[in-house]
Structure 1
Amino acid sequence: MSPIRSRKHALATQPLLNQSLFALAAIGLPLAASAQVAEKTMSEVKVEASADVPYKADKVSSPKLTQPLVDTPQTISMIKKEVIQEQGASSVIEALRNTPGITMQLGENGNTSAGDTFQMRGFSTQSSVFIDGIRDLGAVTRDTFNIEQIEISKGPAGADIGRGAASGYINLVSKLPNRENATSATVSYNSGETKRVTGDLNRTIGDNAAFRINVMAQNGGQMGRKVIDNESKGIAPSIAFGLGTPTRVYLFSQHVRQDNTPDGGIPSVGVPGFYNASAALRTAPRVDRENFYGLASDYEKVDADMGTVKIEHELGPKTTLTNTTRYGKSKMDRILTGINTLTAAGAQNTWTVSRSRQSLLQENEILGNTTNVVTEVQAGGVKHTISTGLEVLSEEQFTPTRGGLGTVAAANLYAPNPNDTLTAFAPVLTGVYTQGKTRTAAAYFFDTIELSPQWQVNGGVRYEHYNTTTNSVSASTATSHPTLPVGTLVPGRVEASDELASFKAGVLYKPVSTASIYAAFSNSQTPPGSANFSLSATAGNINNPNMDPQKTTNIEIGTKWDILREKLSLTAALYRTDNKNEISLLDTASNTYSQLGKRRVEGIELGAVGQITDKWNITAGIATMDATIKEGTTGNNAAGAATRWSPDLSATLWTTYKFNDALTVGGGARYMSKQKRVIDPSVDVSLQNVPSIPSYAVADAMLSYRVNKNVSLQLNVYNLFGKFYINTLNNSGARLGLGVERSAQLSANILF
């Protein structure tokens, strides 16, 4: 609970949201989703037909994957909107806690996580987030108000999405119009004094058209933190024509505005594993979890807009063409106060932590088009289901440097004051910036060959050409440009261009019609600058254009079974992922690096999703992960650092039971084994500051009561047993984010 609140400006973007909606209706703003589970073809009718199984999806939305999930030789987890609502998850990060093998990070150089920052199966994944099959850029925290389902494809997926897909990818499926009049809304309030309302209106227009509007507004604090004050607003209008006909056109857009207080976490003093050269600090108690070490004037503003046009046309009874065009733009403007060095001098109530002023100003822009054709043909006496297409994509990121951020005195370690005096605050652009652009053109071809009712062979290949250009201006130093006055602005340009080929192949055996056993192989490539468009001229830097792409391969053996009248899906997979061409430190004296590094991540993943009975729903998963350095540096730098934050075991569970038409009871648990920060075997971890995040298990509960046919009340209790645990830790171990303490959220779900 937070008696102190930071300043909150009136959000000046509401007129823009209103204008966007009117503009959409007036000019048919582009919109589209290469993945809406809406009516269109027979496969989508099948998805609609399984709606009585709230947690279980039969097929992903992408036309590239033509087979049902049970016949897709790849680990794919699905999180449907029903689970998101039952858990009261307002962000994608909260929803992703439903799948094992994903870990969250606390960002560096800004003292706050840069939006959705996470790893999957031991590899960074935040640059592999897609919306309706098109890559989404920007360091933003994505909301769930306009999400139909979340699709998590695990393992290297270069054939599916192209460059930089070492861990797989996450696809968010937007809500689109359908031929059903429906209105719903949710109003909630939680222990962090956050008020949230969402609305979803779908209306038909004649027999073959419909429009839909999803809206969201949220304002309040953060459970377990002081001063934090976050405000979000969003609107997602859409319209569809030709529903139920051979030609369907979807126009939709999404606009989000956020005005938040950035939170850099708290000092790690007093937590298990804390170490400091000061004996007094080594035995000091923890700080209050509600302490806020920034300033009340710190802010984080996000503007995110996208518009899409999607056209589906049935060329024949078994051939469908899909064309999707999207334009998106996001802007992040953040100024914050971060924490640094601890000082223990005098009485404990006078100890301090130094603070620094930091800034991030970033604009992202993306323009993309995909054209896909799915068809069934008979050739060579066997059935082929072919998916082929072209993709063109333009991505741009502009990051200027801002100075004049001011200075602030060190904060009291145990009683920080968010209203401390800020001096010399006169923000100004310095002229230093980085501007990165990547242009991609790709062609792909996938084929599933049905040799017999029991045997299938499938494979796919993607060939792409990319060009990445980084233009920058830097300020000279005595070392970098000894002949120039210090601070001289020096322009720079680095460029990389290459072709990448990715592929996948699988063999699948069906012992019965509702089960499969498979073996699959896939690969991906991550070229320099793939994740951040920021190439580097520095020798030994992984983003130097002279470096080879990192190459990732994956072998997976698994089985999938749809049981209990196909209402419960059981999956099991054994995987081994190898990543080579990682940077490895050869010689510390000369600071020489080479691409000798090779890392391996292997494990087992089990899953269960669907209904055990008509009243009992479940989604559960367990994953093991063994990350090792096979070649190169094993220490805390270069290749070795990549094995950080990889728990040996993680597990998730969520289940509900409907006692009658009115009462539903549910709950779940999450387990995460130890996540190592220090992975160098030659280092004495007892002398390292918080060398790992200890293992933890957290339980949640939910109670829903249907008051009448239109209204139900829902109570969520998080961290039911009040477990103290570290949720995220920075790379130095100096600061952390604690998991939410016991807290609650009350919601009213309204349906007309």
Structure 2
Amino acid sequence: MRSSSPASSSRLPAFLALACVGFVATAPAHADSDGTGSDPDDQDRIVVNGQRAAEQVGPKAVAPVVNTPRSVVVLTDEIINQTGSTTLADALRTVPGITFGAAEGGNPIGDRPFIRGFDSQGSTFVDGVRDIGAQTREVFATDRVQIVRGSDSTLGGRGSAGGSINIISKLPVAGNFVSGSASVGTANFRRFTLDVNERVTDKIGVRIAGMFHDQDVAGRDAIWNRRWGIAPSITLGMGTDTRLTAAYYYTESHELPDSGIPFRYTLANAPGTGTIYSEPVMGSFTTMGGQTGTVSRSAFYGVASRDFRDTQVHQATLRAEHDFGGVTLRNTARYGYTNQSYIFTLPDDSQGNIYGTATANPTTGQAGARGDVLTGGYVWRRGNTRYGYTETLTNQTDLFGTFKTGGIEHSFSTGVEISWEKARRGALVSANGSTISPRCNSATIARFYCASVFNPNPNDAWVNYASDTSTTPTAIVKGAPITETQNDAHTVSVYGFDSITLVPQLILNLGVRYDHFESTVTPGQAATATSTFSLSKTNNLFNWQAGLVFKPTKNTSLYASYATAATPPNSLLGEGQEGNALGTTNTTTALALLDSLKVEKTKSYEIGAKANLFREQLALGLALFQTDTDNARVTSADNTVEFVGKRRIRGVELTFNGNVTKWLTVFGGYTHLDPKIVDGGFTALTAAAVGTQAAKTVLVPSVNTGRQATQTARDSFTLSANIKPTRRFSFGGGAYYMSRVFGGYQDNRTATQNAAGVVTVSPATKLLVRTVPSYWRFDAQAGYQLTDKIRISANIQNLTDKTYYTQAYTSHYATIAPGRSAFATLNVKF
């Protein structure tokens, strides 16, 4: 049963009222623009099938895609709408080469895209401004999404090892229009959007986008999500040399979060030897104790009365710009505030409670008295919790345009960025059985800390107690303020780009960027502590890129490029998986490590070809690339931290986007990656004490070395197609393939010593690989234009009701995708 949030319920009528006011106020207007633009200065771009071509926008876009020596994909709102995407993650699944990662803390079930094998959560931007807030992003106010692949710190700053994602907002454009949609479908799907653009005067434009969304999740028990948002904006001085745009974006979401399905085995209980794939426990399954049952795709291991995820996002932007002939000066100021709180059930397999650790349960001693369950068949409902917020203030000043030096043409951009970022987080106090070992016994089952792997009940009468053994019910509360962790960062950056047309057939593309990045963490302390401390690190980052473009014809190009990226310690400010954190203690050893922390360096090599065919109606791209990462943080051979880890990603990408004929539009491509962990460092093994010999530690090469990088598919293919046999009727769909993805690796190497202290390392007999299998997914859609202003459409997603997984965590669980769903939409545009 759903629970209603008073905050969302009270705000929803206000949103609907405001949306209706906007609709009525502008209803008499007649469209003289397609309304898809985000910037009044972008209206002179190529028209493709009634839409502007998929091109980059923004001051740093110094060349069109065909003349940019990088792999660039632009998702237009036409593709987003056609595929029925409602979130950024939905939209990005149509782009080959992007996978999604899972986690335990930070942003475990929010947006965490991997581009070319690298986590790009911290390299997501809105209108060119970094957006670090943990969330699941909506697309109702999105005009397009730009994905730049390859090392990209020159463009965006810290991080960006595999590429960056830039969301372009809907802002006022020339003309007047009112467009709205109403969708209803299976799994209680309801979605309403509104987009109103009004040219109030010749020089003033106003736009407002709004959304309400409510749905259950097809094929999953109990799961639901509900959200609403609004994005008003106004531009003064439209069509003049001086313009001022003010914009605000707000979304609020409430949901019962779904982490998915646990893996079958742990290293300790996996049957057999050699390489063992531990996939999510799905279908028929027999435990070590001999119990056989079936795990349904709908099985949800969470607790409906406990689990929740609430998020609010505020963004206020002020952009001022002035044209000086062929040069524009633009200043963008942004304030962002995101808060998120959650308890989500992580179906934990860490103690072997899925498959089991014994063929029979104990009947004597303390274990028998507790009723320990060792034979498997249960899932520990580990309740991961967090509350917190991120706050950012950014100012970017850009000078961009064109000029000539003799016969050489320059399209340039230069700028300065100053930003302040803060992230503060804490944990909710909730008992969930974490202090009890083994996790599942008669008492923990009775308290619903453990659920049946075969038949979990999300509506179990779970009660929060003062402790795992207390009988006193208590409310779930926030931890004491002193237990909260705070991260602060300050960045000052300068950058410059130039696309230099040496001759019509030869273009040189250059870019440089310098970032001064200061980061401080104030770790949370025990609730009984009386003081805190802070740890700080400052890094100066220099990145550059260079590319050469040869143009055999006006609409084709061949290119070669080189680019770098730098990921400093604490780059994500604790809002994601931080592989190079500042630490949380101030011991002598910890402070020495803090001083030694290094920046992770990445460099990309790429060659490729691009072509705009059929009168620039169809864009094709081909890229071959290699990305190398050095200085990754690993354990060294002497059991200290060193920065010698290496990773290499090689691959090839093919992309297509546009009209093949007047009646066929396609979008998608194919990516093949060879993602390899070249050097994963070392792993410590302990040889137990023997006689007078104390326990010893020995280092062995990491199990990860030489293996495929995690969270990364070797092969992916996407095709979104739309066929229009008549002027009013269209149909099409999508085909999406993702090869096997690996979450993590473990082996069972052991170390022993004899009485003389000689240590022997026994080779592994098992390699446990947590993984999710490959899959094909198919979608279908059709639409009919009833009148010039009214269109109806229908989408079926996951047409074959395929069971597949979208994320694989290092351990514990994999995220399962929704089953087949369908919805119909009424679109109106005046």
TM over 0.5, shorter chain:
yes
SS in 2 for 1:372: strand
Tell me the residue number matched to 2:556: 515
Residue of 42, 45, 51 corresponding to 2:43: 45
Aligned position for 1:727: 806
Secondary structure in 1 aligned to 2:496? strand
The amino acid of 1:308's aligned partner reads T
Q: Which of 177, 185, 189 matches 1:190?
A: 185
Report if aligned partners of 2:518, 2:539 keep a CA contact under 8 Å in 1: yes
Equivalent pair of 2:722/2:730 in contact (CA under 8 Å)? yes
Q: Distance in 2 between matches of 1:16 and 1:642?
A: 50
8 Å contact 1:311–1:322 — kept in the other structure?
yes
1:651 Cα deviation after fit: 0.9
Which residue in 1 is equivalent to 2:218? 223
2:529 paired with 1:463: no
Q: Report deviation, 1:422.
A: 1.2
Q: Distance in 2 between matches of 1:542 and 1:216?
A: 51
CA contact (8 A) 1:63 1:374 kept: yes
Quick check: 1:275–1:690 contact (8 Å CA) kept in 2?
no
Deviation at 1:514, TM superposition (A): 0.7
Q: Which runs of 5+ in 1 are unaligned?
A: 26-35, 477-486
Map 1:204-603 onto structure 2 (within 5 A).
204-269=199-264, 273-274=278-279, 279-280=287-288, 284-297=292-305, 298-316=307-325, 318-341=326-349, 342=353, 351-405=377-431, 408-409=447-448, 410-418=450-458, 419-424=460-465, 425-426=474-475, 427-430=477-480, 431-475=482-526, 488=529, 491-532=532-573, 535-536=582-583, 544=594, 546-587=596-637, 591-603=639-651
- For 2:290 and 2:321, locate their aligned partners in 1 and report how far apart those are by CA, in whole Å: 64
Partner letter of residue 665 of structure 1? F
Question: Does the 8 A contact of 1:528 with 1:545 survive in 2?
Answer: no
Question: Deviation digits for residues 466-514 of structure 1, max 9, x if unmatched?
Answer: 11111123229xxxxxxxxxx5455221101121111101111110011
Change (3 A) 1:252 1:281: farther
> Which residue in the other structure is 2:83 paired with?
87
Asked if structure 1 preserves the Cα contact closer than 8 Å seen for 2:381 and 2:432, the reply is no
CA distance in 2, matches of 1:337, 1:39: 43
Cα 1:653–1:167 shift into 2, 3 Å: same
Q: Secondary structure at the match of 1:84?
A: helix
Instruction: State the 1:123 CA deviation.
Output: 0.6
In 1, Cα distance between equivalents of 2:290 and 2:797: 31
Q: How far 1:449 sits from its partner (Å)?
A: 1.5
Is the alpha carbon distance of 1:738 and 1:336 closer, same or farther for their aligned partners in structure 2, counting shifts above 3 Å? closer
Deviation at 1:687, TM superposition (A): 5.1
Q: Shift of residue 325 of structure 1?
A: 0.6
Tell me the distance in 2 between the aligned counterparts of 1:246 and 1:613: 39
Change (3 A) 1:348 1:750: farther
Which residue in 2 is equivalent to 1:700?
779
Secondary structure of 1:11 counterpart: helix
Shift of 1:232: 0.2
Which digits, 9 at most, give the CA deviation of each residue in 1:330-380, with x for residues without a partner? 100112333224266789999422223331112000111111111322225
Q: Per-residue displacement from partner, 1:265-291 (whole Å, max 9, x unpaired)?
A: 123349974499985379844422212
CA distance in structure 2 between the aligned counterparts of 1:229 and 1:306, rounded to whole angstroms: 26
1:454/1:564 CA distance change after superposition, 3 Å? same
Q: 1:156-195 to 2 correspondence within 5 Å?
A: 156-195=151-190
In the alignment, is residue 62 of structure 1 matched against residue 58 of structure 2?
yes
Alignment partner of 1:607 is 2:655: yes
- Determine the C-alpha separation between the residues in 1 that align with 2:607 and 2:747: 31
> How much does 1:300 deviate?
1.0
- What number of residue pairs does the alignment pair up? 718
Cα deviation 1:404-427 (Å, max 9, x = unaligned): 456642112222222322132421
2: distance between equivalents of 1:555 and 1:324? 32
Query: 1:402 Cα deviation (Å)?
Result: 2.9
Relative distance call for 1:286 and 1:136 in structure 2 (3 A) is farther
Q: Distance in 2 between matches of 1:650 and 1:360?
A: 34
* Alpha-carbon distance in 2 for matches of 1:540, 1:267: 35
Q: Using a 3 Å threshold, how does the CA distance of structure 1 residues 54 and 656 change in structure 2: closer, same or farther?
A: farther
**TM-score of the aligned structures, taking structure 1 as reference length:** 0.89
Deviation sequence 1:53-100 (CA, Å, 0-9, x none): 64841x311211211110011001111001111111110000001111
The percent identity for this pair of structures is 30
**2 CA distance for matches of 1:562 and 1:488?**
64
Structure-2 change in CA distance of 1:387 and 1:287 (3 Å): same
Q: Which amino acid aligns with 1:328?
A: G
Indicate conservation of the 8 Å contact 2:316/2:334, yes or no: yes
Instruction: Provide the C-alpha distance between the structure 2 equivalents of 1:17 and 1:619, rounded to a whole number of angstroms.
Output: 38
Contact 1:55 1:609 in 2 (8 A): no
Aligned equivalents of 1:551 and 1:359: distance in 2?
A: 33
| Matches of 1:15 and 1:226, distance apart in 2 | 26
Q: Deviations over 1:145-164 (max 9, x none)?
A: 00000000011111111111
Shift of the 489–261 alpha-carbon distance from structure 1 to 2, 3 Å rule, reads: farther
Offset at residue 615 of structure 1 (A): 1.6
For residues 653 and 709 of structure 1, do their structure 2 counterparts lie closer, same or farther at Cα, with a shift above 3 Å needed? same
**Amino acid paired to 2:628:** D
Alpha-carbon RMSD across the aligned residues, in angstroms, is 3.1
Which one has a bigger Cα radius of gyration?
2
TM-score (normalizing by structure 2): 0.81
**Mapped partners of 2:544, 2:681: distance in 1:** 29
Of residues 655, 673, 676 in structure 1, which corresponds to 2:739? 673
Displacement after TM superposition at 1:172 (Å): 0.4
Choose from 147, 151, 166 the match for 1:152: 147
Structure 1 residues 656 and 449: CA distance shift in structure 2, 3 A: same
Q: Distance in 2 between matches of 1:349 and 1:288?
A: 20
2:711·2:808 contact (CA, 8 Å) conserved in 1?
no
Whole-angstrom CA distance in 2 between matches of 1:212 and 1:561: 35
Following superposition, the deviation at residue 390 of structure 1 comes to 0.7
Partner SS for 1:93: helix
Higher mean C-alpha displacement, 661-670 vs 572-581: 661-670
The 1:172–1:641 alpha-carbon spacing in structure 2 relative to 1, beyond 3 Å, is farther
Tell me the alpha carbon deviations over residues 522-578 of structure 1, each in whole angstroms, 9 at most, x when there is no partner: 001111001225621566899945211001001110111001011000100111101
User: How far did 1:720 drift?
Assistant: 1.8
Between 350-359 and 669-678, report the one with greater CA deviation.
350-359
2:122 aligns with 127
Gaps of 5+ in 2: 23-35, 266-275, 362-372, 434-446, 466-473, 575-580, 683-700, 750-762
1:120–1:437 Cα change, 3 Å? same
1:367-405 CA deviation, whole Å, 9 max, x = no partner? 111111113222254222221111111111001233245
Give, in whole Å, the separation in 2 of the partners of 1:55 and 1:447.
24
Following the alignment from structure 1 to structure 2, what is the Cα–Cα distance between the partners of residues 544 and 645? Answer: 28
The answer as to whether partners of 2:748 and 2:765 remain within 8 angstroms in 1 is: no
Conserved in 1, the CA contact under 8 Å of 2:426 and 2:484?
yes
Deviation at 1:737, TM superposition (A): 2.1
